[in-house]
Structure 1
Amino acid sequence: MSRASRLLTLMEALRRRRRPVAGATLAEELGVSLRTLYRDIAALQAQGADIAGEAGLGYVLKPGFTLPPLMLTVDEVEALALGALWVGARADSELARAAEGALAKLAAVLPPDRAELVAAPSSLVGPGGPSAQGDAHLKPIRAAIRGERKLALGYVDAAGAKTKRVVWPMAISYFDATLILVAWCETRAAFRHFRVDRIETAEARPERYPRRRRALLADWKAEVARERPFS
């Protein structure tokens, strides 16, 4: 591996981690000696990378530092383009517009060979329409998820019964035929899944729910894994 490639790989290794990582761990990951790792860290710092830490304590890339688009590999560009194309074809209108804008920005800052992969990707999204959904409710639902705020729902179940729920929204899950809101339901005191196309009203409440969304998601994933263990 050339030194330039090694520096890019080191930046990516730091970017993936939120907490300080030991120099020995980074050196092993890159296949270099500790002395070389320390020199590479110093070189990146001299070039403007905001890396905190020192030998013996570990290193962390401070929040807010963004990688130049030139660091994207061909496969990374392809993955981003495919994801945006899928969102543009299958997601709701708000995210579809966002995906189109993201692709345009990506193509504008990439070198010509990478930009060509955005204009004419080798991976395409197969036939299929958008999931059944109510676009009007997705904006307040997303706002509640991002703000970790409670959400008041008017919901119609499969039997046609109408209920009022206060939930802690955690995520919107995309399936081929529908969208599912994953939430903690105060009425049931349990995790519940709500079809977005059956939501009649969705109103974000001012109060935040008492637990962090990341912790709720971890508990939900653990519950799903217990109920549907992999064979």
Structure 2
Amino acid sequence: MARAARLLDLLQLLRQHRFPVSGQALAAELGISLRTLYRDIATLQAQGAEISGEAGLGYVLKPGFVLPPLMFDQDELDALLLGLSWVAERTDPALQSAARQALAKINAVLPPERRPLPGQAVQLVGPVPLAPESNTLLAQLRQAIRRQQVLEIHYLDLQQIPSRRAIWPLAIGYFEQVRVLVAWCELRQGFRHFRTDRISYCAPSGARYVGTRAQLLQTWRTQEGITRSVATADIF
């Protein structure tokens, strides 16, 4: 294994542990000697990684450190490029722009031989007609979710019945043809799913909702019987 790849693997192992893990355990997991492990720990510390501990006591990594340059195996790279390409095609202008910038950053740090050539991507995102909605609505919803803001909306349901709601936005689900907002509805006193293309008006009420988004999402998942991982479930 190349040393750069081994250092990344060591970082990943340290990230998986909230409490100090022994050098012996880390060395065994990586298939290296303790002496090599100690040298690798020292190298990461010199690069700026905040690794606490010492030989005989165990090591723990303070969250937030990323070791440049980025290094991905081919499947990881394909997954990243496909996911970012999907976002660049199927979301609102703000996220599309962010996805394209992320793609440019990834291409900038890849070795030339790993860099995908224009028009030669392995995975392609097919065209799908999307339900129309305001270009600013999704960005507004994402901002309200991050800030835990109560929103006032005007909504037209599937029976074409209009209503005015005060909602607590929690997450946005991106489907092939529609986007769906998961929210607590004050009118119905329960969790509801709102198609974003049926929201004709949206504005912050000036209030924050009670509790935390994480707690409300967990309650919603339990009620819906969702058992997928947090990373997957958070998008819907």
* TM-score of the superposed pair, with normalisation by structure 1: 0.82
Aligned to 1:20: 19
- Aligned-pair distance for 1:153? 1.3
Of stretches 29-38 and 166-175 in structure 1, the one that deviates more from structure 2 is 29-38
Q: Could you say if the C-alpha distance between residues 94 and 47 of structure 1 is closer, same or farther in structure 2, counting changes exceeding 3 Å?
A: closer
Q: Could you say if the C-alpha distance between residues 111 and 210 of structure 1 is closer, same or farther in structure 2, counting changes exceeding 3 Å?
A: same
Deviations 1:53-107 (A, max 9, x none): 44546412332x2231332333222211111111122222222222222212222
Q: Could you say if the C-alpha distance between residues 3 and 68 of structure 1 is closer, same or farther in structure 2, counting changes exceeding 3 Å?
A: closer
Q: Could you say if the C-alpha distance between residues 206 and 218 of structure 1 is closer, same or farther in structure 2, counting changes exceeding 3 Å?
A: same
Aligned to 2:45: 45
Deviations 1:121-143 (A, max 9, x none): 21111232335433332121111
Aligned to 1:61: 62
- After TM superposition, list the pairs within 5 Å mapping 1:68-147 onto structure 2: 68-116=68-116, 120-147=120-147
Q: Give the superposed CA RMSD.
A: 2.8
Of stretches 45-54 and 177-186 in structure 1, the one that deviates more from structure 2 is 45-54
- Aligned-pair distance for 1:203? 0.9
Q: For the residues of structure 1 that align with 2:145 and 2:161, how far apart are their CA atoms?
A: 26
Q: Could you say if the C-alpha distance between residues 70 and 99 of structure 1 is closer, same or farther in structure 2, counting changes exceeding 3 Å?
A: closer
* TM-score of the superposed pair, with normalisation by structure 2: 0.81
- Aligned-pair distance for 1:173? 0.3
Q: For the residues of structure 1 that align with 2:141 and 2:62, how far apart are their CA atoms?
A: 32
Q: For the residues of structure 2 that align with 1:80 and 1:131, how far apart are their CA atoms?
A: 26
Of stretches 34-43 and 68-77 in structure 1, the one that deviates more from structure 2 is 34-43
Moved over 6 A (4+): none
Residue pair 1:90, 1:129 contacting (<8 A) in 2 also: no
Q: Could you say if the C-alpha distance between residues 22 and 185 of structure 1 is closer, same or farther in structure 2, counting changes exceeding 3 Å?
A: farther
Corresponding residue pairs, total: 226
Aligned to 2:180: 180
Bigger fraction of residues in helix:
1
Q: Could you say if the C-alpha distance between residues 28 and 61 of structure 1 is closer, same or farther in structure 2, counting changes exceeding 3 Å?
A: farther
Q: Could you say if the C-alpha distance between residues 159 and 70 of structure 1 is closer, same or farther in structure 2, counting changes exceeding 3 Å?
A: closer
Q: Could you say if the C-alpha distance between residues 87 and 3 of structure 1 is closer, same or farther in structure 2, counting changes exceeding 3 Å?
A: closer
- Aligned-pair distance for 1:18? 7.8
- Aligned-pair distance for 1:162? 1.6
Residue pair 1:107, 1:118 contacting (<8 A) in 2 also: no
Unmatched runs of 5 consecutive residues or more in structure 2 = 228-236
